[in-house]
């Protein structure tokens, strides 16, 4: 089968297409013919891991060390990147009960990666569910990572209907799912912060208000929010404090150790809190997301689709142009390249 492989860390050009052995499912696994994969933040970081400095890595130093060990110190150990996908079950192992050949599925492989390939094997109790029937494979591949992370994190802070939520980084993988979940599932009033090029895409996701961070500083507009959901964690509690309502929460999705101390301190001393948390994706969450997307007829916004052999261009595009929605690799020749 064809797969996009990398043998050394570096620029997008390290990704190249190779023929590799097609996997065969174990008894409790399904073999999935991958139709589409979305390119996520983790792919970009893992591709160039050796050259990502501790300062550029947005989580506590210990996470960086553990991830470097898992991904390989000097050379990549996981040769095939990609962690979300949508495709079709081609074969089910003899112990598999929940899935059968021919079913359309989508899912998330997490740190196991491996989805930049024509086929993957996944355990039936992995993060795998039937694909939302209202989405194409390309759209469905853009859903699992961001929505599993956003849902997991929102559940830590119990948003009430009608509350105001500010999402910083709203055009990215987690942010775009966060906009839809906050607005349509939790019934919040959503203000999205993104760059100029992404404002239309973020409006289409359902944001009530959109702030272009290149033109406006939301900390100076006099508005305040019940929750500030800061994807890259570039801001700080002291900077955002005045933009939080009484009892408001600042949730940096990416956080360094200092923010953990702020979480402890604010939990004891302040009505306004910092909450740092890790999302742990569960299969039941993906089933919930599938049903929710169908009920609400929600769709992710796709920025561009690239064919498998142009995966390095997809990485380059994200790194140089930024995102106006999801960037997807498609195995289907009939999908128009935009």
Ligand X SMILES: NC(=O)c1ccc[n+]([C@@H]2O[C@H](COP(=O)([O-])OP(=O)(O)OC[C@H]3O[C@@H](n4cnc5c(N)ncnc54)[C@H](OP(=O)(O)O)[C@@H]3O)[C@@H](O)[C@H]2O)c1
CA distance 85 to 213: 31
Nearer to ligand X, 124 or 303 (CB): 303
Nearer to ligand X, 173 or 283 (CB): 173
Cβ atoms within 10 Å, residue 46: 24
Using an 8 Å Cβ cutoff, are 337 and 63 in contact? no
**Considering only residues 232, 236, 294, 296, which one is a binding residue for ligand X as defined by CB under 6 A?**
232
Strands, sheet with 273-274, edge to edge from the N-terminal-most edge strand: 209-212, 189-194, 164-168, 225-230, 244-252, 273-274
Nearer to ligand X, 140 or 211 (CB): 211
Residue 168 is a binding residue for ligand X (CB under 6 A): yes
Using an 8 Å Cβ cutoff, are 229 and 166 in contact? yes
Q: In the complex, what is the shortest distance from the CB of residue 132 to ligand X, in angstroms, rounded to a whole number?
A: 20
CA distance 26 to 332: 27
**Considering only residues 9, 29, 31, 41, which one is a binding residue for ligand X as defined by CB under 6 A?**
41
* 239 Cβ contact list (under 8 Å, min separation 6): 219
Cβ atoms within 10 Å, residue 327: 23
| Nearest residue to ligand X on Cβ basis | 172
Specify the stretch interacting with ligand X by CB under 6 A; choose among 92-100, 108-116, 193-201, 265-273: 193-201
Residue 172 is a binding residue for ligand X (CB under 6 A): yes
Residue 198 is a binding residue for ligand X (CB under 6 A): yes
**Considering only residues 96, 149, 188, 286, which one is a binding residue for ligand X as defined by CB under 6 A?**
149
Residue 171 is a binding residue for ligand X (CB under 6 A): yes
**Considering only residues 120, 142, 201, 253, which one is a binding residue for ligand X as defined by CB under 6 A?**
253
Q: In the complex, what is the shortest distance from the CB of residue 42 to ligand X, in angstroms, rounded to a whole number?
A: 7
* 82 Cβ contact list (under 8 Å, min separation 6): 4, 37, 39, 43, 109, 113, 114, 115, 116, 117, 329
Nearer to ligand X, 41 or 49 (CB): 41
Residue 155 is a binding residue for ligand X (CB under 6 A): no
Bridge partners, 225 (sequence order): 244
Scanning residues 12 to 31, which ones bind ligand X (CB under 6 A)? none
Residue 244 is a binding residue for ligand X (CB under 6 A): no
Burial class (CB in 10 A: 0-12, 13-18, 19+), 182: buried
Nearer to ligand X, 92 or 244 (CB): 244
Scanning residues 79 to 118, which ones bind ligand X (CB under 6 A)? none
In angstroms, the first-to-last Cα distance of the chain is: 26
Residue 263 is a binding residue for ligand X (CB under 6 A): no
Cβ atoms within 10 Å, residue 34: 25
Residue 58 is a binding residue for ligand X (CB under 6 A): yes
Nearer to ligand X, 23 or 322 (CB): 322
Specify the stretch interacting with ligand X by CB under 6 A; choose among 86-94, 105-113, 154-162, 168-176: 168-176
CA neighbor of 193 nearest in space, from 214, 173, 174: 214
Nearer to ligand X, 73 or 278 (CB): 278
Q: 87 in helix, strand or coil?
A: strand
Q: In the complex, what is the shortest distance from the CB of residue 172 to ligand X, in angstroms, rounded to a whole number?
A: 2
Task: Kindly list the residues in this chain that would bind ligand X in the complex (CB under 6 A).
Answer: 40-41, 58-59, 149, 168-169, 171-175, 193-195, 198, 213, 231-232, 234, 253-254, 278-279, 322-323
């Amino acid at each position: 089968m064809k797969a996009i492989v990398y043998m050394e860390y570096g620029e997008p050009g390290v990704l190249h297409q190779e023929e590799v052995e097609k996997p065969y499912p174990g008894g409790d696994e399904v073999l999935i013919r991958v139709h589409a994969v979305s390119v996520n933040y983790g792919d970009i970081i893992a591709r160039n891991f050796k050259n990502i400095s501790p300062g550029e890595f947005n989580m506590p130093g210990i996470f960086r060390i553990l991830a470097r060990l898992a991904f390989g110190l000097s050379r990549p150990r996981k040769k095939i990147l990609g962690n979300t996908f949508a495709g079709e079950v081609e074969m089910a192992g003899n112990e598999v009960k929940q899935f059968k050949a021919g079913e359309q599925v989508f899912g998330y492989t997490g740190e196991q990666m491996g989805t930049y390939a024509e086929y993957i094997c996944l355990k039936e109790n992995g993060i795998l569910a039937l694909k939302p029937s209202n989405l194409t494979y390309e759209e469905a591949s853009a859903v699992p990572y961001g929505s599993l992370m956003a849902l997991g994190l929102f559940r830590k802070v119990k948003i009430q209907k009608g509350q105001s939520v500010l999402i910083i980084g709203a055009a990215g993988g987690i942010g775009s799912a966060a906009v839809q979940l906050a607005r349509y599932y939790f019934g919040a009033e959503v203000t999205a912060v993104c760059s100029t090029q992404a404002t239309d895409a973020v409006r289409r996701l359902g944001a009530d208000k959109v702030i272009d961070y290149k033109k406006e500083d939301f900390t100076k507009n006099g508005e305040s929010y019940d929750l500030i959901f800061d994807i890259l964690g570039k801001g700080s509690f002291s900077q955002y404090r005045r933009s939080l309502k009484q009892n408001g929460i600042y949730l940096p999705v990416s956080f360094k150790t200092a923010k953990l101390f702020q979480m402890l301190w604010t939990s004891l001393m302040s009505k306004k809190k910092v909450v740092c948390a890790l999302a742990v994706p569960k299969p039941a969450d993906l089933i919930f997301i599938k049903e929710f997307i169908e009920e609400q007829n929600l769709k992710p916004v796709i920025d561009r689709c690239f064919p498998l052999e142009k995966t390095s261009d997809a990485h380059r595009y994200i790194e140089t142009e930024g995102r106006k929605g999801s960037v997807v690799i498609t195995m289907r020749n009939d999908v128009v390249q935009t």
